[in-house]
Amino acid sequence: MASKTLYERIGPEAIAALARAWHDRATADEIVGHAFSHGFNPDHVQRIAAYWAQAWGGPTDYTDGMGDESRVVRMHSGDGEHDEMDERAEECFVAAAHDVGLAQDICDELRAYWRWETVHLNAYPDSDENVPDGMPFAIWS
């Protein structure tokens, strides 16, 4: 029997709750919140939940109607290196996973995912113009 995907292990309701908890923590954080200081999409929480769901083996709602991987990477590019913000964002993410009651083994895997995804999203620190079109969607396995 194949092992369950992270999406199957967490479930769509908990992913939505995680997206809300992370958004609330990140926007309130004195360091991470700077990334949101110029505003964000009013559907940000739903978009994050759809992105994570797809990245973790769930439905393709994100790429079916919200954007593609190149767009996501572009949104996170061109801001230079920001290690302190990345570390704080990771802590907000793991704390949010605990806030919604996810099991420790899932929280540990989510931390590993966050680190993996951060490297991917930060691959173009100098300019969003360097991000190629048609990037494959980043699936965690």
Q: What is the pLDDT of residues 48-60, one digit of tens each?
A: 999 999 999 999 9
- The residue written with tokens 């302190």 in the block is 84
Q: What are the helix (H) ranges across 1-141?
A: 6-10, 12-28, 44-55, 61-65, 69-75, 83-99, 104-121
Per-residue confidence (pLDDT) for residue 138, from 0 to 100: 94
For residues 54 and 61, the answer to whether their CB atoms sit within 8 Å is yes
Which CATH entry fits the domain spanning 10-33+42-130: 1.10.490.10, 1.25.40.10, 1.10.10.60, 3.40.80.10? 1.10.490.10
Mind listing the pLDDT tens digit for each residue in 30-74?
A: 999 888 877 777 899 999 999 999 999 999 999 999 999 999 999
Per-residue confidence (pLDDT) for residue 37, from 0 to 100: 74
Per-residue confidence (pLDDT) for residue 41, from 0 to 100: 78
- pLDDT over 70 (residue 136): yes
Residue range 129-136: mean pLDDT, rounded: 94
Mind listing the pLDDT tens digit for each residue in 82-129?
A: 889 899 999 999 999 999 999 999 999 999 999 999 999 889 989 989
Provide the residue ranges of all domains of the chain, joining segments of one domain with +.
10-33+42-130
CA distance 106 to 83: 24
